[in-house]
């Protein structure tokens, strides 16, 4: 019984940790602005933080700050994120067959 309890606790911890990496790591007040599998973009109407979620894998792959008028461009087919005219580093390779979501939080 103790082994089952320990195993279950380990699985729950793994699930909780994985959730923190995905949508759960994006502030609840962030708005979903764009979703799709190819060429996404968003232009900020306020200053704040932008987040890119790989919805297929439920992983946050990018977070950055945008000023009013800044644009973020996502091109999964060539593994490219451009923020305010500059190529942005991101935590995992973008996959052309994955679904991506751009979230924006104007409070940051």
Q: What is the pLDDT along the chain (108 residues), one digit of tens a residue?
A: 544 444 434 433 333 334 447 888 999 999 999 999 988 999 999 999 999 999 999 999 999 999 999 999 999 999 999 999 999 999 899 999 999 999 999 976
- Domain ranges (residues) in the chain: 2-105
The model scores a pTM over 0.85? no
Angle at 10 between CA 9 and CA 13, to 5 degrees: 85
DSSP 3-72: HHHHHHHHHHHHHHHHHHHTGGGS-TTPEEEEEESS-EEEE-SSSEEEEEEETTTTEEEEEEEE-TT-EE
> Which residues is 67 bridged to in the sheet?
none
**72 φ, ψ to 5°?**
-115, 135
């Amino acid at each position: 019984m103790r082994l089952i309890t320990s195993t279950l606790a380990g699985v729950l911890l793994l699930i909780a940790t994985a959730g923190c990496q995905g949508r759960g790591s994006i502030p609840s007040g962030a708005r979903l602005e764009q979703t799709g599998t190819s060429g996404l973009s968003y232009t900020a109407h306020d200053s704040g933080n932008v987040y890119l979620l790989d919805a297929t894998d439920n992983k946050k792959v990018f977070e950055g700050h945008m000023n009013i008028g800044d644009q973020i461009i996502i091109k999964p087919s060539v593994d490219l994120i451009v923020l305010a005219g500059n190529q942005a580093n991101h935590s995992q390779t973008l996959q052309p067959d994955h679904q991506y979501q751009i979230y924006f939080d104007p409070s940051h």
